[in-house]
Structure 1
Amino acid sequence: MIDHRFFLEDKRSLKLLVLGNKEVSGDPNDPNYIRERVSQAAQVPGAEVFFMNQEHGTTIIEAQGSPGSEIPTGDSLFTTEPKKILVVKTADCMPIFFWTGRPALVGVIHSGWKGTIAGITEKTLAHVQKKYGVDPELVHFYLGPYATGKHYEVGEDVASLFRKEVPNSLKPLEEPGKFLLEQKTFLTHRIRNLGIQPFLETAGACTMAPNSKYFSHRRGDTGRNLNCIWLE
């Protein structure tokens, strides 16, 4: 489990919580289980839990008010309201947490290789900049557990898409047409191309590593890590 608190410029704080295979045992497709497990782990009185039907796309959703009975479809969640717990499910894809204190805003992105190539992170930054005047230079990023370049193997079909922009995000393997992909390298390049020098931290955890504490689809796990962030 990852459990961090970060302080914003206006002295408010946010919490970042990642529940892995030791903390999550129920059905990851059951909305009631997700809400109950996250509420129990977060211990935030009066909190409301928001999550999405994820589709590896670029749809951005703002969490406001109370979550409705219908779960929205998207891959990026953000809010400016306190005690709104935003949740992204992952099992190898990158959970990209982000926040800023001017104005106070937090979010989390589900970014598999398709979302990374499609620019879900850059589009989210553009969206919050346009709506709330967020300065991208003041946005902090934190990468939760994902399949890192030490273990994440892809074929030429995927490798060719990343090679066009960032050749050094790939490491060739001995088997022809096989590569290890490091999406963090690609993501950092994309953000810097916006003229931003990102404040980017990482959990340093690979979901595909031996004895990982986090679910991995590539290893055959059916569970999902719950990546949570909220303004306190």
Structure 2
Amino acid sequence: MTPSRFVRPTIFQSIPGLVAGVSTRHGGLSEGPYSSLNVGVHTDDAPEVIEQNLSLLCADVGIAPADLARSYQVHGDKIWVTGRPGYQSGFDAMISVQPGVFAGVGIADCTPILVADPVTRVCAAIHAGWKGTVARIVEKTAKRMIENRGSNPADLLVYIGPCISFAHFEVGDEVAAQFSEEFKTRKGAKWHVDLKAANEAQLRAIGIQQIEIDPSCTVANNADFFSHRTEKGVTGRMLALIGFQVS
């Protein structure tokens, strides 16, 4: 059986018209360290191949590449709220307020988080590495949906996708100091930090309880997902995307 290009979260499967999930590294045309479904625009892979990979992925999920709202990510906490597709710079979270516009973030160890409101049909894609997690980008994005777009926390469904896991995310004292005790453990000279748990806690603290956490680790499951750390910076990117189809 050929491995799938796209992981579809269970939590979203009963929502009519919602397209959501995370791409894998399977089923693309890239070669070498980018093998094979690299959709990372800012990699040294051939641009025309990246474009073909994106077309293959979008065809699988039933959207067009031109329907995506994405950004060059900077590990910050800026949020782009949009009703139009396009490509920006400097945002690590995208909120789509318009059906037919699909929010997307690139990942290769950082935590992808997808948020859907089936009532307002507003959704968000968030890129939360350790810096974004410390900057509380997940909390800020969800609050923007609640305070500015009328979402009820009880209605929001969230998927925390494949990223570097607690077992593999080794950091030094400087990074560990920025996380509270419940999300880190010291092992020898290094600390281990749990990005999934830290982001989950931010969501639960503001009343969001419907959360699915993908157990996959980009390091342990490097055959299925790109890992910036494992592949020493020379690797592809997956795409986490979410949006409602036009009804």
Q: TM-score, normalised by structure 1?
A: 0.85
Residues 1:99 and 2:116 aligned together: yes
1:122 to 139, 142, 146: 139
Equivalent in 10, 13, 29 of residue 6 of structure 1: 13
TM-score, normalised to structure 2's length?
0.80
Shift of 1:190: 2.3
**C-alpha offsets along residues 39-94 of structure 1, whole Å, 9 cap, x if unaligned?**
33322369612211100111111231342xx5332011111322222211001000
Q: 1:208 is matched with which residue?
A: 219
What are the equivalent positions in structure 2 for 1:107-146 lying under 5 Å apart?
107-146=124-163
C-alpha root-mean-square deviation of aligned residues, in Å?
Answer: 2.3
CA contact (8 A) 1:7 1:13 kept: no
- SS at structure 2 position matched to 1:21: coil
Deviation (angstroms), 1:226: 1.2
Gaps of 5+ in 2: 1-5, 31-37, 42-46
Does 1:36 find its partner at 2:55?
Answer: yes
2:114 and 2:126 in contact (8 A); partners too: yes
Q: What does residue range 175-214 of structure 1 map to in structure 2 within 5 Å?
A: 175-176=188-189, 178-194=190-206, 196-209=207-220, 211-214=222-225
What is aligned with 1:17?
21
| Distance change >3 Å, CA 62–CA 23, structure 1 → 2 | farther
Q: 1:227: how far off?
A: 1.1
Structure-2 residue corresponding to 1:222: 235
Stretches of 4+ moved more than 6 A in 1? none
Shift of 1:23: 3.4
Identify which range, 72-81 or 199-208, moves more after superposition: 72-81
Q: Which amino acid aligns with 1:2?
A: V
| Identical columns (%) | 26
Structure 1 contact 146–205 (Cα < 8 Å) conserved: yes
Change (3 A) 1:140 1:157: same
Give the match's secondary structure for 2:113. strand
Find the aligned partners of 1:6 and 1:208 in 2 and give their Cα distance: 27
Deviations 1:175-197 (A, max 9, x none): 22x11111122222223333x14
Q: Deviations over 1:89-118 (max 9, x none)?
A: 001000001111221111110000000010
**Aligned-pair CA distance for 1:228:** 1.5
Which has the larger displacement, 35-44 or 98-107?
35-44
In structure 1, give the amino acid aligned to 2:242.
Answer: I
* 1:231 has 2:216 as partner: no
> What does residue 81 of structure 2 align with?
62
* Structure 1 runs not aligned, ≥5 long: none
